[in-house]
């Protein structure tokens, strides 16, 4: 696979492929910018392809696509390893094969395209590289209640309870408030709402699921 972009300034591409072991300047600063651009461009792809996914689902899908191992895979497809500039220590120890070094170079290369050709060029390049991977994602995921139930069963936890807490508004525009409660092994409660009881339950289940799945720094 080749990068569908031709650099006007080849020195930007070269810098993107220069690992810190080769001294300064190197690709570390570009990697910071590329990581952020990649996050935004893939976020937009998921926003378009998964119109019903919640924020939490899109976030999880993105971390399936954008993580060290996945980016290293893309770097290998682009054969970046052969073009990396490494210090002699990393060369000897085979640094050109290491996931973290490859993933960083890939991110830096995304920034290099942005700096060389602007956002549209960068976006086109990233979208081309990720098109197949995004297309391979489950299109419409199981609903939140089902996913929560499966998670709880897989972990040997009892099933949640859904409690209708109240309703709001006139008959034709009623809003339902539902709590989803997991009691054991720890108490987790979330308040959902929606235009039907079912939608409110899905909403509450999604929130509980997010708490169970998301890293603590969330």
Catalogue the active-site residues. 35, 107
Query: String of b and e for 117-126 (b: at least 16 CB within 10 Å)?
Result: beeeebbebb
208-215 contacts: CB < 8 A, separation 24 or more?
Answer: 208/148, 208/160, 208/180, 208/182, 209/56, 209/144, 209/147, 209/148, 209/151, 210/54, 210/56, 212/148, 212/151, 212/188, 213/56, 213/60, 213/151, 214/56, 214/59
> Rounded CA gap, 100 and 171, in Å?
56
Residue 184 Cβ vs its own copies, minimum distance, rounded to whole Å? 27
Closest approach of Cβ 157 to its own copies, in Å?
24
Closest to its own copies by CB, 75 vs 115, is 115
**Cβ distance to its own copies smaller for residue 37 or 72:** 37
Report whether 104 belongs to an annotated binding site.
Answer: yes
| Residue 31 assigned as binding residue | yes
Closer residue to its own copies in complex, CB, 152/179: 179
Binding stretches for its own copies (CB under 8 A): 20-21, 23-24, 28-29, 31-33, 35-37, 39-40, 43-44, 47, 53-55, 58-59, 87-89, 114, 119-120, 123, 168, 175, 177, 193-195, 199, 203, 215, 217
Annotated binding-site positions for Mg(2+): 31, 104, 107
Residues annotated as binding site? 31, 104, 107
């Amino acid at each position: 696979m080749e990068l569908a972009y031709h650099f006007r300034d080849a020195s930007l591409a070269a810098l993107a492929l220069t690992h810190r072991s080769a001294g300064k300047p190197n690709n570390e600063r570009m990697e910071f910018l590329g990581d952020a651009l990649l996050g935004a461009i893939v976020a937009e792809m998921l926003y378009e392809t998964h119109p019903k996914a919640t924020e939490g689902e899109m976030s999880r899908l993105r971390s399936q696509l954008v993580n060290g191992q996945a980016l290293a895979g893309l770097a290998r497809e682009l054969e970046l390893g052969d073009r990396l500039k490494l210090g002699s220590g990393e060369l000897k120890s085979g640094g050109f094969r290491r996931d973290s070094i490859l993933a960083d170079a890939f991110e830096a290369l995304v920034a290099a395209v942005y700096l060389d050709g602007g956002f549209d060029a960068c976006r086109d390049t990233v979208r081309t590289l990720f098109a197949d991977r995004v297309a391979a994602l489950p299109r419409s995921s199981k609903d939140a209640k089902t996913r929560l139930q499966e998670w709880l069963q897989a972990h040997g936890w009892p099933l949640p309870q859904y409690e209708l807490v109240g309703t709001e508004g006139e008959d034709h525009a009623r809003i339902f408030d539902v709590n989803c409660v997991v009691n054991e092994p720890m108490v987790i409660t979330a308040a959902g709402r929606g235009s039907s009881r079912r939608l409110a339950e899905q909403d509450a289940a999604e929130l509980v699921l997010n708490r169970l799945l998301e890293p603590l720094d969330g």
